[in-house]
Structure formats: C-alpha cells, structure tokens
C-alpha cells in the first residue's frame, strides 16, 4: 500500500476492510473481544461501531482474542462444507486469535494465519469458530496446524463456546464438536468469501466506485 493512500472516512470493519493480504491463509481479523472482557461486545452491522451485546452470563473469560474476518459471510457454501441442508448463520466468519503477548484492546485489526477451527452449530445453523495465530508471534509463530496447539487451550476454547450462551432453565442451543485442521478451515474461508461476494459484492463495488 502506498504511504500516500489513506481512508478519508473510517471504513466499516465488516465491509470496508480487506479480507486479508493472502487469502485464505493470511487473513485480517477484526477483534471484538479480548480475554479480559466480561462483556460480550459485537459489531453493529449498520454503523460498524462496537456495541454491548450483553454481559457474559458465565464466569469464564474468552481464552483468546475473538472477532471476525472482514468480507466473509456464513451462508449456504459455509454450511455445505459440513453437511448438506445446513446454512450459515448470516454473520461474518468468527475467528479466535492466539497471541503470546496480551493484547488488551478490542476494535483493532490483526494479520493472522489460519490453522484450524471448531465445527459449531447454533440453533441449527453453522457458526464455526476458526483458530488462527497472530502473524510474526515470537512464541506461537511456527505453528501450522491446530493439532500443534496445547490440548488445554483447545479444551478451554471448546468449553467457552459451549457455555457462553447458557441461560439457566433454558435449553442449550450451541453444539461445539472436535476441532478440524488447517485444510478444512481454509475451505471454510474460501466458502465464506464466496458467500460474501454473492450477498454483498455488488453493493461494496458500487460504494467503492462512488467513493
């Protein structure tokens, strides 16, 4: 990118940022929640600002940074990666980012490498949680596949996403299964980028031409 290029206005984190410098391997992650947050922050789809979705209902904190990949959309192609008849949840593709150093701020953009993910079904729809490594991380930087991460970290992530929407007295709506590796995760990224292009591509193109 030229040093003379800049955005005159703040871009929408979902629609205004690029998906990544080298899709589907090296991607951008927009961070909504850090491991220090006891409140569930979520992007407002209309304005692009973070808003408070809810206080966390359980006592567990997210084990890693958590957010989404810009210009992805969980639609029919994302659902088809796992099982015919399942569709995506209509949100951008969720991502968990592993970093040695504590990053305490949300509303930041990271460059990450995809290494795997969790097949997650929420209310009958695909709501996968990809796992990635912060690019150039001095401790985790050599990891290629999720199988190389500590089992304890994977179990914490699975437990968090299995319980973070739990409401006492109500039926559990989220199912988190065993992790899949890098190859399946890359297929999901490609599927989510195609789903996004179908859902929003013509609108993004018109905005860019007008801008």
Percent of the chain whose pLDDT exceeds 70: 92
CATH topology assigned to domain 26-206 = Inorganic Pyrophosphatase (3.90.80)
What is the overall mean pLDDT for the chain? Answer: 90
pLDDT, one tens digit per residue, over 130-154 is 999 999 999 999 999 999 999 999 9
Per-residue pLDDT at 84: 63
Least confident of 84-88, 94-98, 103-107: 84-88
Q: Which of 61, 56, 59, 88 has its CA nearest to residue 193? A: 88
The mean per-residue pLDDT over the stretch 111-115 comes to 98
9: which DSSP letter?
A: S
Q: How far apart are CA 48 and CA 63, in angstroms?
A: 25
- Annotated domain spans of the chain: 26-206
Higher per-residue confidence, 129 vs 211 = 129
The mean per-residue pLDDT over the stretch 105-120 comes to 96
Per-residue pLDDT at 86: 86
Per-residue pLDDT at 175: 87
3-state secondary structure (DSSP) of residue 194: helix
Per-residue pLDDT at 210: 61
Helix (H) or strand (E) holding 132: strand 129-134
Per-residue pLDDT at 147: 97
Per-residue pLDDT at 2: 55
Residue 8 has pLDDT above 90, yes or no: no
């Amino acid at each position: 990118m030229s040093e003379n290029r800049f955005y005159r206005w703040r871009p929408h984190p979902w629609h205004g940022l690029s998906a990544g410098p080298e899709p589907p391997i090296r991607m951008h992650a927009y961070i909504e929640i850090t491991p220090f947050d006891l409140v569930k922050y979520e992007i407002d789809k209309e304005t692009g600002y973070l808003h408070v979705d809810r206080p966390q209902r359980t006592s567990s904190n997210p084990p890693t940074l958590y957010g989404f990949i810009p210009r992805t959309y969980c639609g029919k192609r994302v659902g088809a990666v796992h099982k015919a008849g399942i569709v995506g949840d209509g949100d951008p593709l969720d991502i968990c980012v592993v970093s040695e150093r504590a990053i305490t701020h949300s509303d930041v953009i990271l460059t990450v490498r995809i290494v795997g993910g969790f097949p997650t079904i929420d209310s009958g729809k695909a709501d996968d949680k990809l796992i990635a490594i912060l690019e150039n991380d001095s401790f985790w930087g050599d990891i290629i596949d999720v199988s190389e991460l500590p089992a304890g970290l994977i179990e914490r992530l699975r437990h968090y996403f299995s319980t973070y929407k739990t409401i006492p007295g109500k039926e559990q709506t989220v199912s988190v299964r065993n992790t899949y590796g890098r190859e399946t995760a890359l297929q999901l990224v490609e599927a989510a980028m195609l789903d996004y292009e179908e859902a929003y591509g013509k609108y993004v193109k018109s905005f860019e031409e007008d801008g």
